[in-house]
């Protein structure tokens, strides 16, 4: 919100009311004194230039504006400054039309124009008089005549464009705005938002494109043309304009700058446009590798936040095909490999990891990912040996080796490595390591641990159907103790993953009701509420499960989340 001079179409100062005047006075703004209707200034006295006591000219008033207005009195051509007497007469005219003396104000402005033909400030006041009367046709005629006579693209551009739009001629209004923007680059904050609204059809996009291509040294026009083309759904034109105008030097690419601007808008459509721009930059062989790789990282980062990294990965990999994978950096290569695998392109992911380098010591993260890729195919001595070689490089690597041992049916060896991986309280795998340690140490019967490891391997490698078959078998044969509780949660999770969400309720309720003292019982009760809410659409029964969870386990680690769910349901359903 800015403080700016009062613009066209403003009513009398009395329209602010007593509260408005009090607020303005608190801010230290100049406020005209109020007068009774009987004391209203006589139009003839104002025309004659007589001073009226207790009045403040409109030029002293400040009001709040929340839109970007066209600067009044703007012109391409220099004009002589107004002397004090002329400026004072112009200020009195404003007071006339504020008091709704339209004819008197118009006649006075006519005499001022006769003395100073084509004077921009006088023309702006005359347009304001017409706007106060909603006489848009008069503004259109005034603007057309004056602009043709002076060949001035800035003269009355704001008033003329506004009148054309109100008269139902948006294409002509857009043309006026664009001409003014071409002449004065500083008018972009005024012109672009209106053009974005008025020029979103095919003809408007073509007009903006042609102007931008004809002005290759004006990146502001290219930015505007690209944004408008994207709004119209014409991504090809947007990319072509930016690529054509962009400087091929070492500076920041224009496509990168526009992508950043689009991200600042925080809308889904503009975020998609930013991804496309960065993807196009990443695939441009004319740019240096640094710009291309930075764009690739940016595109993947935005897509990852929008849960679309897997869908983008094949396109991003193709865009960088001319850049050696060894130049990508371990973070980008590793991220894209995981994204490709998530997209179901396992062979491409494996090839990318192989191209990133074969020496395990080059990048521990890449070496770990290659070893895990072998483990996804089969659990054998070769995959275990590969992980063992790098297991001591980090807690994450030690945890993955422990997982491989657990998958291979060696729980005792796995326990030692889980213990090692859990020593660093700040590591990301500490919690998971402790969970596995509790599972192995409390296992009864321990003979079921190899089958449980096989189940975990199938789930980890992305084979939920095979894991579901194992979980169902273990759920039916294990005694109702710790391992059975773990299996019940896994069975419910896998049933949801395979689309059998309604069937997930039975093992969850069985666990919560049969062994309520187990450490997993509070989770089972919460998950039962989730299933009832999302798969059965039964908020009332879900609320019962959540409340039962809070009543039985008020200090459980998941109690805060359960309370939030209860509050949300009560607020939505008013139960």
pLDDT digits (tens, 9 = 90+) for 95-152: 787 777 778 888 888 888 888 888 898 898 889 888 888 999 999 999 999 999 999 9
Cα of 228 vs its chain's centroid, Å: 18
pLDDT of 72 reads 80
Exposure on the CB side of residue 374, measured as CA atoms within 13 A: 18
Average pLDDT score over residue span 172-187: 92
Alpha-carbon gap, residue 291 to 541, rounded angstroms:
55
Q: How many angstroms separate the CA atoms of 393 and 542, rounded? A: 46
Distance CA 541, CA 71 (A): 62
With 90 as the cut, is the pLDDT of residue 418 above it? yes
Q: Assign a CATH topology to domain 442-573.
A: 1.25.40
Dig out the tokens for 90 from the structure. 């112009």
* pLDDT exceeds cutoff 70 at 299: yes
Percentage above 90 pLDDT, the chain: 51
Query: Using CA atoms, how far apart are residues 29 and 402, in angstroms rounded to an integer?
Result: 72
Q: What is the pLDDT of residue 245?
A: 87
Q: Of the given ranges (79-93, 156-170, 192-206), which has the lowest mean pLDDT?
A: 79-93
Model confidence at 19: pLDDT above 80: no
Question: What angle, 0 to 180 degrees and rounded to 10, lies between the N-to-C axes of helices 157-166 and 170-183?
Answer: 160
CA angle at 97 for the pair 94 and 99, rounded to the nearest 5°: 110
Average the pLDDT over 164-191 and give the result. Answer: 92
pLDDT band (50, 70, 90) for residue 265: confident
Contacts by 524-528, CB closer than 8 A, 24 or more apart: 524/485, 524/488, 524/489, 524/492, 525/549, 525/552, 525/553, 526/558, 526/561, 526/562, 526/565, 527/489, 527/492
The pLDDT of 374-395, averaged and rounded, is 89
Q: End-to-end CA distance of the chain: give it in Å, rounded.
A: 43
Given this model, what pLDDT does residue 249 score? Answer: 67
Structural domain boundaries in the chain: 1-167, 442-573
Model confidence at 36, pLDDT cuts 50, 70, 90, reads very low
- Residue 59: per-residue pLDDT: 30
Using CA of residue 452, residue 453, residue 455, residue 456, what is the dihedral sign?
positive
Range 161-168, long-range pairs (CB < 8 A, 24+ positions) = 161/70, 161/194, 162/131, 162/136, 163/136, 163/137, 163/139, 164/140, 165/198, 166/136, 167/136, 167/137, 167/140
pLDDT of residue 172: 92
Nearest C-alpha neighbor of 443 from the set 474, 464, 397, 401 = 474
Which residue would you say has higher pLDDT here, 97 or 335?
335
**Does residue 24 surpass a pLDDT of 60?**
no
Q: Over the stretch 458-483, which tens digit does the pLDDT of each residue have? A: 999 989 999 999 999 999 999 999 99
Neighbouring CB atoms inside 10 A of 472's CB total 16
From the centroid of its chain, how far is CA 521?
Answer: 39
Contacts of 412 (CB under 8 A, 6+ apart): 440
Name the more confident of 26 and 231. Answer: 231
CB 558 within 8 Å of CB 489? no
**Is the link from the previous residue into 130 a cis peptide, with omega within 30 of 0?**
no
């Amino acid at each position: 919100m800015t403080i700016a001079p009062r613009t066209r179409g403003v009513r009398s100062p009395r329209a602010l009311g007593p509260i408005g005047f009090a607020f303005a006075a608190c801010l230290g703004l100049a406020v005209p004194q109020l007068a009774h209707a009987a004391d209203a200034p006589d139009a003839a006295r104002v025309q004659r230039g007589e001073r009226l006591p207790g009045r403040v000219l409109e030029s002293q008033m400040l009001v709040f504006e929340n839109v970007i207005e066209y600067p009044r009195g703007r012109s391409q051509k220099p004009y002589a400054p107004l002397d004090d007497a002329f400026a004072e007469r112009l200020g009195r005219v404003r007071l006339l039309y504020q008091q709704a003396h339209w004819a008197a104000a118009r006649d006075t402005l006519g005499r001022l124009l006769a003395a100073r033909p084509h004077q921009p400030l006088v023309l702006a006041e005359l347009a304001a008089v017409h706007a106060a009367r909603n006489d848009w046709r008069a503004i259109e005629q005034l603007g057309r005549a004056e602009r043709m006579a002076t060949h001035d693209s800035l003269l009355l551009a704001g008033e003329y464009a506004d009148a054309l739009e109100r008269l139902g001629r948006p294409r002509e209004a857009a043309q006026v705005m664009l001409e003014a923007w071409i002449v004065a680059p500083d008018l972009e904050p005024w012109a672009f938002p209106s053009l974005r609204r008025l020029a979103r059809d095919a003809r408007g996009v073509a007009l903006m494109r042609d102007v931008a291509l004809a002005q290759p040294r004006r990146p502001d026009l290219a930015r505007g043309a690209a944004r408008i083309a994207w709004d119209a759904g014409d991504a090809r034109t947007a990319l072509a304009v930016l690529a054509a105008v962009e400087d091929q030097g070492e500076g920041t690419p224009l496509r990168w700058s526009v992508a950043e601007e689009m991200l600042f808008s925080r809308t889904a459509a503009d975020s998609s446009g930013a991804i496309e721009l960065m993807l196009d930059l990443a695939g441009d062989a004319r740019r240096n590798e640094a710009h291309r790789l930075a764009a690739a990282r940016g595109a993947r980062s935005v897509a990852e936040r929008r849960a679309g990294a897997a869908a983008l990965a094949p396109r991003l990999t193709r865009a960088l095909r001319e850049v050696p994978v060894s130049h990508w950096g371990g973070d980008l290569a590793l991220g894209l490999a995981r994204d490709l695998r998530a997209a179901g392109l396992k062979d491409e992911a494996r090839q990318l990891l192989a191209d990133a380098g074969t020496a395990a010591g080059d990048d521990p993260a890449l070496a770990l990912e290659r070893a895990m890729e072998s483990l996804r195919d089969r659990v054998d001595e070769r995959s275990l040996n590969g992980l063992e070689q790098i297991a001591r490089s980090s807690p994450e690597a030690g945890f993955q080796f422990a997982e491989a041992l657990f998958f291979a049916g060696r729980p005792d060896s796995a326990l030692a490595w889980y213990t090692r991986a859990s020593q660093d309280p700040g590591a990301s795998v500490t919690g998971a390591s402790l969970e596995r340690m509790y599972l192995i140490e409390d296992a009864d019967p321990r003979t079921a641990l190899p089958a449980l490891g096989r189940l975990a391997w199938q789930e980890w490698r992305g084979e939920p159907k095979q894991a579901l078959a194992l979980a169902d078998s273990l759920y039916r044969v294990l005694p109702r103790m710790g391992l059975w509780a773990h299996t019940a949660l896994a069975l419910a999770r896998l049933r949801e993953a395979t689309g059998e969400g309604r069937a997930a309720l039975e093992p969850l309720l069985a666990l919560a009701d049969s062994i309520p003292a187990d450490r997993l019982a509070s989770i089972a009760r919460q998950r039962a509420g989730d299933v009832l809410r999302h798969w059965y659409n039964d908020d009332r029964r879900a609320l019962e499960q959540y409340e039962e969870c809070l009543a039985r386990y008020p200090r459980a680690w998941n109690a805060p989340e359960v309370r939030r769910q209860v509050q949300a349901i009560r607020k939505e359903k008013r139960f």
